[in-house]
Amino acid sequence: MSSPAIEMRGITKSFPGVKALKSVSFSAFSGEVHALAGENGAGKSTLMKILSGLYRPDGGAVIVGGTERHFTHPLAAIRAGIAVIYQEFSLLPERTVAQNIFLGREPTRFGLIDHRAMNDEARRVLALFGSAHRIEPDTVVADLDVASQQLVEIAKAVSLDARVIVMDEPTAALNEAECEVLFGLVDTLRKRGVAIVYITHRMREITRLADRVTVLKDGETAASFDHVPEPDAIVRAMVGRDLGDFYAEPARLEEIGDVVLSVRNAGNDRLKSVSFDLRAGEIVGFAGLQGAGRVALAQAIFGFTPFTEGEVTLAGTPARFTSPREAIRAGVGLLPGDRKAEALVLMQSVSDNGMLTARALSGLSAKADATPFVSAEEMETLLRNVDVRAGSFSQDIKALSGGNQQKAIVARWLALAPRLLIFIEPTRGIDVNAKAGIYHLMRDLARKGAAIMMVSSDLPEVLGASDRILVMRSGELVAAFPRGVSEADIMLAATGEEAVAA
């Protein structure tokens, strides 16, 4: 075989508090699809951000077309023929589809942007996906649904005519039919000699597309296959241990108690007539695509964006909260999905972060270290009980790993002994072992009589950690499954597709 289109040798990268990559090597040849698999937080995205010039590696070499390169700006990587489709959307919502596709490289005529050429070219690229009619080049991106936005994102990379295209979980927001279109497109690109790095943790996509597979785990290469191995081999490499004790034991029948939260025909401008019950002692997983309304539902229950209609009761009393403060007082807790932005005060200590809500709900006369809910010493005990590992609880919380930060937030809620605890993406960006810790912590809380609502986009997690699974689509609850349902059934319900040959 000739030399690879891109090769990364011994890449090392650290962030404050985390060693994200430990001497990882990776290569992709022209005309192949190299699948990069691994759990969330395994380092896949970091590796690709180094390839695209967004991050600079601490050590190691990036070799493109046989020569070593040091990208200091993404522009250099783009010029070297590397295009990346990022997982978190990199679209500008206020700009049009065509403007987004040609971001920073608009076609010009006499120094002025040639809007017509831009729209024509955008239409041509979108036609490759068969989505030319659905997505108009002059539509503002904010007006598109999530799947269309994802297609625009892909069109942006394809239109670059890159030699290497990195796709970071491109199917996360697509339905079955759209996935098939994408797979067809990947085949076409492969035939044209493009090297494709395909990041995913879905076995079906690996089997369907990949020529080679590399598995990352905790920032290291866990396995590398020159063929497509059995899914089991990949999963074992991803998880790095037996799946047996990864998730906690499900609830036994006698552990499930009375209804804690009852929601009847509740809605607001993002939710339509939602009805369900949550019982003490159970963990209920909420699955669905991005924007399906799961987070909106959690925020509505928590009083952040209140329901405007319907009935909600918490332990039998009316509970249509209009502010989080009201909800917390009544015994509801919420762990947001974006820890840094929504849950933590990064520049305060671990114990201050733990005390945050207890202090906020205390009267003005309460002492900071002895609130009616918890004292500073009790908080230290709670933090130790949930196994927060820190040099000292008085150090800034920003230096802790994601898993320890999340546990500290759990401790914050434990101090208030909530009846209902809502977890949004509880293990996003957390390493594998800390994940197991969070799952067991959730189960312990449930055993002690709390109802747990878990919103997660990580399907294996929903399947493994929940006692029941509710699926949402377009602001409605569309399906309810018992434990043991298949991933495919949930996806079908979430996308609203009829059973397509999968």
Partner 1 sequence: MSTAIFVKRPARRMERYAPALLLGVALAIYVAIALGLGLTRFLTPEAAIAILNRSIALGITAVGQTFAILVGSIDLSVAHLISASAVVASAIMNGDPAMMLPAVLAVLLMGALVGTLNGLMITRLEVNPLIATLGMALIIQGCLASFHGRFGGSVPDAFQYFAYGAVLGLPVSLIVLTLLVLAAWIVLRFTRFGSNIYSVGGNRDTARAAGIKTTRVVMASHIICSLCASLAGLYLASRLKSGSPWIGTEGAYDLESIAVVVIGGTILSGGKGGIWGTVAGVIIFSLIDSIFNLAGVDAFAKQVMRGIIIVAAVAFYAIRSKRIVA
- Residue pointed to by tokens 């539902």: 297
- List the interface residues with partner 1, window 409-468 (CB under 8 A): none
Q: How far is CA 172 from CA 270, 333, 401, in A?
A: 21, 28, 26
Determine if 103 is a binding residue for partner 1 (CB under 8 A): yes
Number of residues forming the site for partner 1 (CB under 8 A): 37
Determine if 93 is a binding residue for partner 1 (CB under 8 A): yes
Of the two residues 91 and 409, which places its CB atom closer to partner 1 in the complex? 91
> Can you list the pairs that 353-356 forms with residues at least 24 positions away whose Cβ atoms lie under 8 Å?
353/397, 353/408, 353/409, 353/412, 354/379, 354/382, 354/383, 354/393, 354/408, 354/411, 354/412, 354/415, 355/379, 355/412, 355/415, 356/412
How far apart, in whole angstroms, are the C-alpha atoms of residue 78 and residue 166?
A: 12
Q: Which stretch binds partner 1 (CB under 8 A): 91-99, 164-172, 354-362, 457-465?
A: 91-99
Vertex 162: Cα angle to 161 and 163 (nearest 5): 125
Of the two residues 106 and 255, which places its CB atom closer to partner 1 in the complex? 106
Q: How far is CA 377 from CA 40, 84, 399, 415, in A?
A: 34, 49, 22, 12
Among residues 100, 90, 49, the alpha carbon closest in space to that of 73 is found at: 49
CB of 266 vs partner 1, minimal distance in Å: 16
Of the two residues 145 and 258, which places its CB atom closer to partner 1 in the complex? 145
Task: Indicate which single residue of 30, 99, 262, 456 sits in contact with partner 1 (rule: CB under 8 A).
Answer: 99
Scanning 272-372, the segments in alpha helix (DSSP H) are 294-301, 324-330, 350-361
Task: Indicate which single residue of 12, 14, 87, 139 sits in contact with partner 1 (rule: CB under 8 A).
Answer: 139
CB of 307 vs partner 1, minimal distance in Å: 14
- List the interface residues with partner 1, window 269-288 (CB under 8 A): 269-270
- List the interface residues with partner 1, window 151-210 (CB under 8 A): 156
Residue type, 373: F
Of the two residues 147 and 493, which places its CB atom closer to partner 1 in the complex? 147
Determine if 255 is a binding residue for partner 1 (CB under 8 A): no
How far apart, in whole angstroms, are the C-alpha atoms of residue 403 and residue 427?
A: 7
Determine if 90 is a binding residue for partner 1 (CB under 8 A): yes
How far apart, in whole angstroms, are the C-alpha atoms of residue 277 and residue 258?
A: 10
How far apart, in whole angstroms, are the C-alpha atoms of residue 159 and residue 106?
A: 12
CB of 166 vs partner 1, minimal distance in Å: 12
Determine if 73 is a binding residue for partner 1 (CB under 8 A): yes
- List the interface residues with partner 1, window 379-408 (CB under 8 A): none
Among residues 125, 107, 126, the alpha carbon closest in space to that of 116 is found at: 107
Task: Indicate which single residue of 75, 127, 360, 480 sits in contact with partner 1 (rule: CB under 8 A).
Answer: 75
Of the two residues 161 and 245, which places its CB atom closer to partner 1 in the complex? 161
Six-digit token string for 374: 């918890």
How far apart, in whole angstroms, are the C-alpha atoms of residue 175 and residue 499?
A: 11
Determine if 70 is a binding residue for partner 1 (CB under 8 A): no
Determine if 120 is a binding residue for partner 1 (CB under 8 A): no
Residues that bind partner 1 (CB under 8 A): 52, 54, 73-75, 78-79, 84, 86, 90-95, 99, 103-106, 108, 111-113, 115, 133-134, 136, 139-140, 142-145, 156, 269-270
